[in-house]
Amino acid sequence: MWTSMPRRRMGPLLLTAFLFLLALSAVSPASVGNPEDYTADEAERTATENIVFDDYRGKGCVDDSGFVYKLGERFYPGHSNCPCQCTEDGPVCDQPECPKLHPKCTKVEHNGCCPECKEVKNFCEYRGKTYKILQEFKPSACEWCRCEPNNEVHCVVSDCAVPECVNPVYEPEQCCPICKNGPNCFAGTTIIPAGIEVKVDDCTICRCHNGDWWKPAQCLRRECLNGQTLS
């Protein structure tokens, strides 16, 4: 005769073992972390929560120094910026047409919306020297110059006449050459005065061309014998 075991004893034990195995299979080694990791994550989350990021979008505008302006308020974002209007989309700044700076401006300041010229060149430079506006000067004996209001130097150069001699000289502080001994010309290699006949040797008489000092002298040579002219 077969006897059966009571189910009321076997049922709860099997159910308990089954639930225990199911719970054990659901927990994997990868899901079990290091307790220290939990501590670090918690500290990082706490530090992040303590940081407050100011967001003024749609509420106001901030200038370079951190000052907050209300919507609709005009302000200067920085030291050398143009004025701006604070809007929900951010600052809307003026864009004026700034006046052109003087081309000879030597000092420009950027302390406002437009650059400003503080100093204009008031002198001229010529050959390494400086001259005041409207100052007249002579850089050389033949030049006369003046420093113009536009900072440019205008010069006039003397136009010298052609000297009437073959040996002109230049005197100190004098522009044009001069003929110290008067007009003359060459008779061979000899310089003779113009306007007269000159006997350059016992048999030769020369004379300068009238007005043509640069041409050789006209000479007349006669037959000579022992220094005596034969007629």
- pLDDT of 121 reads 80
What does the DSSP 8-state code read for residue 178? Answer: B
Question: Same domain for 195 and 147?
Answer: no
What average pLDDT does range 164-187 have in this prediction? 90
Both 136 and 181 in one domain: the answer is: no
Res 30: pLDDT? 45
**44 found inside a domain:** no
Structure tokens of 57? Answer: 């979008």
- Asked if pLDDT for residue 151 goes beyond 90, the answer is no
Q: Is 149:121 a contact under the CB 8 Å cutoff?
A: no
Angle at 166 between CA 179 and CA 138, to 5 degrees: 50
Report d(CA 54, CA 52) in Å as an integer.
6
Q: pLDDT tens, 53-91? A: 456 666 789 888 888 998 999 988 887 788 899 998 888
215: containing domain: 163-224
| Percent over 90 (pLDDT), the chain | 26
- Residue 169 three-state SS: strand
Instruction: Read off the pLDDT of residues 141-150 as tens digits, 9 standing for 90 and up.
Output: 889 999 998 8
Q: pLDDT by residue (tens digit) across 10-26?
A: 455 555 555 555 555 55
Spatial separation of the C-alpha atoms in residues 91 and 59, rounded to whole Å: 12
Q: Are residues 141 and 169 in the same domain?
A: no
Same domain? 153 vs 187: no
Alpha helices, DSSP H, located in 51-195: none
